[in-house]
Amino acid sequence: MLSVFRGYDFLSSNGVLAYSQTMKTKIQKFIAQGMTINLHDELLLIRKKSICQSKNLDLLWRSLCSVTATSGSSLNAESFMSRYDKALRFDLLPKTRKAREKAILKELYEAGVPRMRAQKAHYLSENYVKVKSLGGPKKATKIMLSLKGKSEKQLWIRQFNGVGEKYSNDIWMNICDPDFVNAIALDSRVKNFAKKLGFDIKSRALEENLIRFAKECGLTGWELDRLIYNFGGLILSLAKFRNSQP
């Protein structure tokens, strides 16, 4: 199993190095056991992990930290999120804006998160203020989980800095929200996959077209999205290899 979740709940006290060592061990085990993989079983595991995520009492704040970690690039996002319980948890951050922004920026640099680090630190610091105004992470999460319907959820989550069209789907999909069973978060990985299948990635109907394609494959939009994110490269490589066989 190379990757199991579109989201970042992997915890490690040693950052990137510990994560790399863990992945090395997992890959060695995967290869040694014959490299067999059942994507339907993987989807069940991803769904189980997603549902577990929804039980976090500080779900909203964790989700906003994940947005900070992955916006523009998911490189070293796991390293950033591994610092959550030691430095990024809501109650651990400084109360003043300047000190809080500096503390977040320090974690971004040390985790090796690329691109727009100053802006990301500023956005997350401002989101801290918004979450606080909602009563803190636990009360804000209760409000989040009390919302009804896809549109209301998308609109509400977009009040936070850094949350646009993609994350207004992805945040809910990461907890397997039933209102997003037929939704797809249109990030670069999904678009690259869609382009190779011949879809017009500039079309406003891209998500709708991909959901239709998912149904033709016997999948929901959520399932196709998770498969592309976790196994898109593998699926394309296998399809290309098998179609080239005599």
Residue carrying the six token digits 């947005």: 67
For the stretch 194-240, pLDDT in tens is 999 999 999 999 999 999 999 999 999 999 999 999 999 989 888 87
Residue type, 218: G
Counting other chains too, the contacts that 167-171 makes at CB distance below 8 Å and 24 or more residues apart are 167/67, 167/71, 170/6, 171/63, 171/66, 171/67
**Three-class secondary structure of residue 83 per DSSP:** coil
Q: Which residues contact 164 (CB under 8 A, 6 or more apart)?
A: 158
Residue type, 197: L
What's this model's pTM, rounded to 2 decimal places?
A: 0.83
CATH of domain 52-176: 1.10.340
Return the higher-pLDDT residue of 124 and 20.
124
Domain-wise residue ranges, the chain: 52-176, 188-243
Q: What percentage of residues in the chain have a pLDDT greater than 90?
A: 76
Look up residue 154 and give its two tokens: 């998308």
What is the pLDDT confidence band of residue 50, given thresholds at 50, 70 and 90?
very high
What is the pLDDT confidence band of residue 149, given thresholds at 50, 70 and 90?
very high
pLDDT at 102 over 80: yes
